[in-house]
Amino acid sequence: MKAEFNEQALLKGLALNESKAIETMYKDNFNMVQAFIINNNGSYDEARDIFQEAMIALYEKAQSESFVLTCKINTYIYSICRRLWLKRLQQLGRYTNQVDGLEETIQVEEDLETHEKRNADFSMMETALNSLGEPCRSLIEGFYIKKMDMQALSKEFGYTNADNAKTQKYKCLMRLKKLFFAQYNIGE
Protein backbone atom coordinates (compact mmCIF):
# COMPACT_ATOMS: atom_id res chain seq x y z
CA MET A 1 0.00 0.00 0.00
CA LYS A 2 2.90 2.35 0.77
CA ALA A 3 4.38 1.83 -2.71
CA GLU A 4 0.97 2.68 -4.18
CA PHE A 5 0.91 5.89 -2.16
CA ASN A 6 4.41 6.77 -3.32
CA GLU A 7 3.37 6.20 -6.94
CA GLN A 8 0.37 8.52 -6.48
CA ALA A 9 2.51 11.08 -4.67
CA LEU A 10 5.05 10.98 -7.50
CA LEU A 11 2.31 11.49 -10.10
CA LYS A 12 0.86 14.38 -8.13
CA GLY A 13 4.33 15.86 -7.72
CA LEU A 14 4.94 15.55 -11.44
CA ALA A 15 1.60 17.24 -12.19
CA LEU A 16 2.64 20.10 -9.89
CA ASN A 17 6.09 20.23 -11.58
CA GLU A 18 7.91 19.50 -8.30
CA SER A 19 11.62 18.97 -8.91
CA LYS A 20 11.90 16.23 -6.26
CA ALA A 21 9.27 14.07 -8.00
CA ILE A 22 10.88 14.63 -11.40
CA GLU A 23 14.35 13.76 -10.05
CA THR A 24 13.00 10.60 -8.40
CA MET A 25 11.34 9.46 -11.62
CA TYR A 26 14.52 10.19 -13.55
CA LYS A 27 16.70 8.25 -11.07
CA ASP A 28 14.28 5.32 -10.90
CA ASN A 29 13.64 4.95 -14.63
CA PHE A 30 16.29 6.46 -16.88
CA ASN A 31 18.83 3.62 -16.61
CA MET A 32 16.19 1.08 -17.64
CA VAL A 33 15.22 3.16 -20.69
CA GLN A 34 18.86 3.86 -21.56
CA ALA A 35 19.69 0.14 -21.48
CA PHE A 36 16.73 -0.68 -23.72
CA ILE A 37 17.60 1.97 -26.30
CA ILE A 38 21.34 1.23 -26.37
CA ASN A 39 20.61 -2.51 -26.70
CA ASN A 40 18.35 -1.71 -29.66
CA ASN A 41 20.58 0.34 -31.99
CA GLY A 42 20.49 3.58 -30.03
CA SER A 43 22.81 5.98 -28.24
CA TYR A 44 22.90 7.72 -24.87
CA ASP A 45 21.70 11.01 -26.42
CA GLU A 46 18.81 9.25 -28.15
CA ALA A 47 17.88 7.61 -24.84
CA ARG A 48 17.82 11.05 -23.16
CA ASP A 49 15.61 12.46 -25.92
CA ILE A 50 13.16 9.56 -25.80
CA PHE A 51 13.04 9.62 -21.99
CA GLN A 52 12.35 13.37 -22.05
CA GLU A 53 9.49 12.88 -24.52
CA ALA A 54 8.03 10.16 -22.29
CA MET A 55 8.26 12.40 -19.22
CA ILE A 56 6.46 15.18 -21.10
CA ALA A 57 3.72 12.73 -22.13
CA LEU A 58 3.36 11.49 -18.54
CA TYR A 59 3.38 15.09 -17.23
CA GLU A 60 0.52 16.01 -19.56
CA LYS A 61 -1.43 12.89 -18.56
CA ALA A 62 -0.78 13.50 -14.84
CA GLN A 63 -2.32 16.98 -15.14
CA SER A 64 -5.56 15.50 -16.48
CA GLU A 65 -8.09 14.78 -13.73
CA SER A 66 -9.49 11.86 -15.71
CA PHE A 67 -6.13 10.05 -15.93
CA VAL A 68 -5.90 6.92 -13.79
CA LEU A 69 -2.65 4.97 -13.84
CA THR A 70 -3.43 1.24 -13.98
CA CYS A 71 0.17 0.02 -13.77
CA LYS A 72 3.42 1.03 -12.09
CA ILE A 73 5.02 4.29 -13.20
CA ASN A 74 8.16 2.50 -14.42
CA THR A 75 6.05 0.15 -16.57
CA TYR A 76 4.19 3.10 -18.04
CA ILE A 77 7.37 5.08 -18.79
CA TYR A 78 9.07 2.01 -20.25
CA SER A 79 6.09 1.32 -22.49
CA ILE A 80 5.96 4.90 -23.75
CA CYS A 81 9.72 4.92 -24.38
CA ARG A 82 9.56 1.59 -26.16
CA ARG A 83 6.80 2.77 -28.48
CA LEU A 84 8.56 6.08 -29.18
CA TRP A 85 11.85 4.31 -29.84
CA LEU A 86 10.34 1.73 -32.18
CA LYS A 87 8.60 4.52 -34.07
CA ARG A 88 11.89 6.44 -34.36
CA LEU A 89 13.74 3.31 -35.53
CA GLN A 90 11.14 2.81 -38.24
CA GLN A 91 11.52 6.42 -39.36
CA LEU A 92 15.31 6.04 -39.50
CA GLY A 93 15.08 2.69 -41.27
CA ARG A 94 16.90 0.89 -38.43
CA TYR A 95 13.93 -1.14 -37.18
CA THR A 96 14.46 -4.86 -36.69
CA ASN A 97 12.01 -7.48 -35.47
CA GLN A 98 14.50 -8.51 -32.79
CA VAL A 99 13.67 -5.99 -30.06
CA ASP A 100 14.84 -6.76 -26.52
CA GLY A 101 12.34 -6.51 -23.69
CA LEU A 102 9.13 -7.02 -25.64
CA GLU A 103 7.71 -9.48 -23.13
CA GLU A 104 8.04 -6.98 -20.28
CA THR A 105 5.86 -4.24 -21.75
CA ILE A 106 2.20 -3.47 -21.82
CA GLN A 107 0.15 -1.96 -24.59
CA VAL A 108 -0.27 1.51 -23.05
CA GLU A 109 -2.35 3.00 -25.83
CA GLU A 110 -4.72 0.04 -25.92
CA ASP A 111 -4.99 0.12 -22.13
CA LEU A 112 -5.83 3.83 -22.20
CA GLU A 113 -8.36 3.38 -24.99
CA THR A 114 -10.04 0.57 -23.05
CA HIS A 115 -10.11 2.67 -19.89
CA GLU A 116 -11.52 5.73 -21.68
CA LYS A 117 -14.19 3.60 -23.39
CA ARG A 118 -15.17 2.05 -20.06
CA ASN A 119 -15.49 5.52 -18.50
CA ALA A 120 -17.66 6.67 -21.42
CA ASP A 121 -19.86 3.57 -21.00
CA PHE A 122 -20.23 4.23 -17.26
CA SER A 123 -21.14 7.84 -18.00
CA MET A 124 -23.78 6.76 -20.52
CA MET A 125 -25.16 4.23 -18.01
CA GLU A 126 -25.37 6.95 -15.35
CA THR A 127 -27.23 9.23 -17.78
CA ALA A 128 -29.62 6.41 -18.70
CA LEU A 129 -30.18 5.59 -15.02
CA ASN A 130 -30.89 9.25 -14.21
CA SER A 131 -33.42 9.52 -17.05
CA LEU A 132 -35.14 6.28 -16.00
CA GLY A 133 -37.34 7.91 -13.38
CA GLU A 134 -38.81 6.64 -10.13
CA PRO A 135 -39.44 4.03 -8.78
CA CYS A 136 -37.37 2.17 -11.40
CA ARG A 137 -34.18 4.03 -10.61
CA SER A 138 -34.40 3.36 -6.87
CA LEU A 139 -35.41 -0.25 -7.46
CA ILE A 140 -32.40 -0.94 -9.69
CA GLU A 141 -30.04 0.95 -7.37
CA GLY A 142 -31.43 -0.97 -4.40
CA PHE A 143 -30.82 -4.33 -6.04
CA TYR A 144 -27.52 -3.76 -7.87
CA ILE A 145 -25.78 -1.07 -5.83
CA LYS A 146 -27.14 -1.52 -2.30
CA LYS A 147 -27.34 -5.32 -2.78
CA MET A 148 -30.82 -5.56 -1.25
CA ASP A 149 -32.69 -8.83 -1.68
CA MET A 150 -36.12 -9.06 -3.31
CA GLN A 151 -37.93 -9.45 0.01
CA ALA A 152 -36.44 -6.19 1.33
CA LEU A 153 -37.20 -4.41 -1.95
CA SER A 154 -40.82 -5.59 -1.90
CA LYS A 155 -41.26 -4.15 1.61
CA GLU A 156 -39.54 -0.86 0.77
CA PHE A 157 -41.51 -0.26 -2.44
CA GLY A 158 -44.83 -1.68 -1.22
CA TYR A 159 -45.08 -4.74 -3.48
CA THR A 160 -47.26 -7.59 -2.21
CA ASN A 161 -44.43 -10.14 -2.47
CA ALA A 162 -40.87 -10.71 -3.72
CA ASP A 163 -42.08 -12.10 -7.07
CA ASN A 164 -43.88 -8.85 -7.89
CA ALA A 165 -40.74 -6.88 -7.01
CA LYS A 166 -38.72 -9.20 -9.23
CA THR A 167 -41.11 -8.69 -12.16
CA GLN A 168 -41.00 -4.91 -11.72
CA LYS A 169 -37.20 -4.97 -11.50
CA TYR A 170 -37.07 -6.90 -14.77
CA LYS A 171 -39.34 -4.36 -16.51
CA CYS A 172 -37.22 -1.50 -15.17
CA LEU A 173 -34.05 -3.22 -16.30
CA MET A 174 -35.44 -3.60 -19.82
CA ARG A 175 -36.30 0.13 -19.89
CA LEU A 176 -32.79 0.97 -18.66
CA LYS A 177 -31.26 -1.27 -21.30
CA LYS A 178 -33.33 0.42 -24.00
CA LEU A 179 -32.28 3.91 -22.81
CA PHE A 180 -28.61 2.93 -22.56
CA PHE A 181 -28.41 1.38 -26.02
CA ALA A 182 -30.26 4.32 -27.56
CA GLN A 183 -27.46 6.58 -26.23
CA TYR A 184 -24.76 4.03 -27.05
CA ASN A 185 -25.80 3.83 -30.70
CA ILE A 186 -25.89 7.63 -30.96
CA GLY A 187 -22.39 7.85 -29.45
CA GLU A 188 -20.80 5.56 -32.05
23: domain CATH number is 1.10.1740
| Domain-ending residue, one of 71, 86, 106 | 106
Kindly report whether the global pTM for this prediction surpasses the value 0.85: no
Coil/strand/helix, residue 72: coil
Task: Give the CA distances from residue 27 to residues 18, 30, 142, in Å, rounded to whole numbers and listed in that order.
Answer: 15, 6, 49
> What are the tens digits of pLDDT across the range 40-68?
888 999 999 999 988 888 888 888 877 78
Q: Say if residue 23 is in the same domain as residue 76.
A: yes
Q: Write out the residue range of the structural domain in which residue 26 sits.
A: 2-106
Do 97 and 30 lie in one domain? The reply is yes
Closest CA to 83 of 108, 48, 57: 108
Pair 50, 68 in one domain: yes
Domain limit, last residue, from 53, 75, 106: 106
Q: Which of 48, 73, 106 is the last residue of a domain?
A: 106
* pLDDT score of 82 more than 70: yes
| C-alpha count within 13 angstroms, C-beta hemisphere, residue 122 | 6
pLDDT mean over 62-80: 84
Neighbours of 179 (CB within 10 A): 19
CATH of the domain at 181: 1.10.10
**CA-to-CA distance for 39 and 8, rounded, in angstroms?**
31
Q: What is the number of structural domains in the chain?
A: 2
